Chain A
Amino acid sequence: MPVDTKRVRGPDESQSPLIFLPKSAQKVVPKEGREDGRQRGQTDVRPVFARCGLVSQAKGSAYIEAGNTKLMCSVYGPREIERKDETDMKSGRLFCDFRFAPFSCQKRGAWIQGSEEKDFSLALLESLRPGVCLHKYPRSQIEVNVMVLENDGSVLAHAVTCASLALADAGIEMYDLVLGCSLRQDGATYLIDPTFPEESGSCVADNAENQGSVTVALLPSLNQVSGLQSDGEMGEETLVDAVRACIEGCHKLYPVVQQALIKSVRRKAPPPEN
């Protein structure tokens, strides 16, 4: 087995104390209602706090907090493309790197990027790309780095929102912002913007139909969906309703994100006093 010599290593094997918890102490998601007081079947997304321009070294950056989900994103570039073998030099390239901080999840994460992170990186890239005017940046690359500081559900959706804020903060030309919203379908009802316990599905009754989750990335003013991910089994109508609910959820985020952007623009170029 290859030995990782680049980090301070601990014991070969260690276990989270959570798996030794007695069954009675484990959290159960209520079958009715939601723990944080929100309603099932309504598009009440968690309150969001968004802020731009926190990373001094980056061209643009953003931080988003929704419930306990906290993540930040920084954008570097446009700079000269590193990979010269690309055939298509007429438009720029977008790179996305999605990472969980090791302490961000219930279970401690590994240092090396796992397949879930790779999957999220790709989903993020595909959701953002339609929103960015890449043809304005020939022969250049734009890097988007997302770091999840705390995972309390719906990380991909918030990562999309955060990354598009950071891109806008970096002054990258865009057609529109990209907003993300996700949803957990639980039988006939749904939980929008689910928390981690709601998302990971310990609330599922065993034989219920329509169990799944949907994440939508939306360009709000163009009313275009740039990313759609759906896992699990759902009837077609349920899926359509779920997507509609997510779109509605995105629109609820829009004013917050706009405010954050306005704030950052004001700070960069204060309006003339008169």
Chain B
Amino acid sequence: MAAGFKTAEPLEYHRSFLKENCRPDGRELGEFRTTTLNIGSISTADGSSLVKIGNTTVICGIKGELASPPADAPNKGYIVPNVDLPPLCSSRFRPGPPGEQAQAASQFVADVIESSGVIQREDLCIEKGKLCWVLYCDIMCLDYDGNLLDACLIALLAALKHVWLPEVTISKDTDLAEVNTDKKQHLSIAKHPISSSFAVFDDSIVIVDPTAEEESLSTAMMTVVTDEEDRLCTLHKPGGTSLSGEKLQDCISRAVTRNREVSKLINTVMHSVKPQNSIQQLPLLGTLARSSCVLTRVWEAVEREMVEHSKPQGSSARDLFDKL
């Protein structure tokens, strides 16, 4: 019965939950899905992280390369963030060049990096006018169930914190770069921009961390980015219905608390990742019966290392299911 109602009248279905101040998956309006984080599981990348917000899964891999600095800023390096939505993550995306949503997400991430000053681009300079680092930050969605931007920013920030670049000098004799992999350094991360996304239902109800379905039914979307000092860095509201100043204020305060929660999560996971060696080994989890070659790595590690933020409080939703 409930399933039929959901398919035939998705909007009414959602409304009936929202009336009771809860959502079909059991969350309250201002509740995020469980957020889990794994850092450093891709050894081919110089920094990497995997973020799950509910079902939405995003992986970020950062690779550093060497280039000559831009002509207009000889003492700066490059940060090149790109968000990819491959056909793998949802049937709504087609193979080929990035679609509108991926382009918008890439631009959003680039804007946040630029405006928040998460990294001083001067830090990426190796020798003025000669050599600098290029950080290719490739963010890839592996499972698209809404709230892409929040996941992207967490993944980016965690991967940036994990980046581990070798020391590079320019040899005086040959004028060529010399790379020393024995000496590696982290980047200095100056700011902690973290976003919270909201969806507006029926012009008045604001819910946080929408799923893909909620996104498609909502009348407006908004993303608020704040930094660790509770300052607002970006507010992204691409069209949609209008929102009162009061509601906006509520959203910003929610974003501020969310920032604290996520910062804590990133720090906890960073500490649990072993003291930095060049090769990272994640723990094995024992073997399954019958076979000599079963091994448990990233996904299990995700589940183990995850720090739960919010436990779903399912009772009210279940009551509602019974009613339907």
**Using a CB–CB distance below 8 Å, which chain A residues touch chain B?**
4, 6-11, 13-18, 20-22, 25, 45-49, 51, 54-58, 63, 65, 68, 70, 72-74, 76, 97, 99, 101-106, 108, 111, 143, 145-147, 149-152, 252-253, 255-256, 259
Residues in B whose Cβ lies below 8 Å from that of A57: 55, 89-91, 143-145, 212
- CB contacts (< 8 Å) of A147 on chain B: these are 86, 88, 140, 142
B294 touches A54 (CB 8 A): no
Does any Cβ of A come within 8 Å of B81's Cβ?
A: yes
B265 to chain A, nearest CB (A): 21
B42 touches A55 (CB 8 A): no
Q: How far is the CB of A235 from chain B (nearest CB, A)?
A: 30
Inter-subunit contact B67/A13 (CB<8 Å): yes
State A97–B140 Cα separation when bound (angstroms): 16
Tell me how far the C-beta of A50 lies from the nearest C-beta in chain B, rounded to whole angstroms.
8
Bound together, the chains give a CA A7 to CA B99 distance in angstroms of 10
Docked-complex contact A259 and B294, CB < 8 angstroms: yes
Q: How far is the CA of A101 from the CA of B88 in the complex (A)?
A: 12
B291 touches A255 (CB 8 A): yes
B1: Cβ under 8 A from any A Cβ: no
In the complex, the answer to whether A55 meets B140 with C-beta atoms within 8 Å is no
Most buried by B among A11, A15, A25, A63: A11
| B59 in contact with A149 (CB, 8 Å) | yes
Task: Give complex CA distance A108, B44 in Å.
Answer: 9
Q: Whose C-beta in chain A lies nearest to the C-beta of B285?
A: A49
- Pick out which of these stretches binds chain A: B9-17, B177-185, B247-255: B177-185
User: Do A102 and B80 touch across chains, with their CB atoms under 8 A apart?
Assistant: no
A63 nearest CB neighbor, chain B only: B299
List, sorted by A's number, 24 A–B pairs whose CB atoms are closer than 8 Å: A6-B103, A7-B82, A8-B106, A10-B134, A13-B67, A15-B66, A17-B64, A45-B293, A47-B294, A47-B295, A49-B296, A49-B297, A54-B299, A56-B145, A65-B297, A97-B95, A99-B86, A102-B63, A102-B138, A103-B62, A146-B88, A147-B142, A152-B43, A256-B294
A111 CA to B80 CA in the complex, in Å? 13
Q: Are B81 and A8 in contact (CB under 8 A)?
A: yes
Cα–Cα distance between A147 and B143 once the two chains are bound (Å):
12
Which residues from A are CB-within-8-Å of B176? 20
Nearest CB of chain B from residue A197's CB, rounded to whole Å: 12
Q: Given A20-B177, A57-B90, A65-B298, does the pair A103, B45 have CB atoms closer than 8 Å?
A: yes
Check A14 against B168 for contact (C-beta < 8 Å). Answer: no
Interfacial chain B residues near A151, Cβ < 8 Å: 44
What CA separation (Å) do A14 and B136 show in the bound complex? 10
Residue of B nearest to A59 (CB): B91
Report Cα–Cα, A14/B145, bound state, in Å: 35
- Cβ-closest chain B residue relative to A104: B44
Q: Report chain B residues within 8 Å CB of A7.
A: 82, 98, 103, 106
B226 neighbours in A (Cβ, 8 Å) = none
Complex Cα distance A22/B294, Å?
38
Report the minimal beta-carbon distance from B165 to chain A, rounded to whole angstroms: 8
Q: Is A72 touching B142 in the complex (CB atoms < 8 A)?
A: yes
> Are A150 and B44 in contact, CB atoms less than 8 angstroms apart?
yes
Question: Is B68 located at the chain interface by the 8 A CB criterion?
Answer: yes
Q: How far is the CA of A68 from the CA of B91 in the complex (A)?
A: 28
The complex places the Cα of A214 from the Cα of B238 at a distance, in Å, of: 52
CB pair A17–B179 under 8 Å, yes or no, is yes
Task: Give the distance to chain A from B147, nearest Cβ to Cβ, in Å.
Answer: 13
Known A-B contacts: A14-B67, A49-B296, A58-B90. Give 7 more (CB < 8 A): A7-B82, A8-B81, A99-B86, A101-B61, A103-B61, A103-B63, A111-B84
Chain A residue at minimum C-beta to C-beta distance from B181: A25
Whether the pair A20, B97 counts as a contact (CB closer than 8 A) is no
Shortest beta-carbon distance from A81 to chain B in Å: 15
Interface string of B47-64 (1 = CB under 8 A from A): 010000001010101111
User: What distance in Å separates the Cβ of B235 from its nearest Cβ neighbour in chain A?
Assistant: 21
Contact of B177 among A17, A99, A101 (CB under 8 A): A17
Nearest CB to that of B159 among chain A residues?
A103
Q: How far is the CA of A131 from the CA of B86 in the complex (A)?
A: 25
- B299 & A101 in contact (Cβ 8 Å cutoff): no
Q: How far is the CA of A13 from the CA of B144 in the complex (A)?
A: 32
Interface string of B12-25 (1 = CB under 8 A from A): 00000000000000
A14 to chain B, nearest CB (A): 4
What is the bound-complex CA distance between A169 and B221, given in angstroms? 34
- Find the B residue at minimum CB distance from A196: B44
> In this complex, which of B63, B81, B86, B289 has the most chain A Cβ atoms within 10 angstroms of its Cβ?
B63
Q: Which residues of B contact A15 (CB under 8 A)?
A: 65-67
Asked if B74 CB lies within 8 Å of chain A CBs, one says: no
Q: Does B117 contact A (CB under 8 A)?
A: no
| Contact assessment for B65 and A47 in the assembled complex, using a CB-CB cutoff below 8 Å | no
Closest 4 CB pairs of A and B: A103-B61, A56-B55, A14-B67, A10-B80
Flag whether B78 is at the interface (Cβ < 8 A): yes
Q: State in angstroms the CA–CA spacing of A76 and B142 once bound together.
A: 14
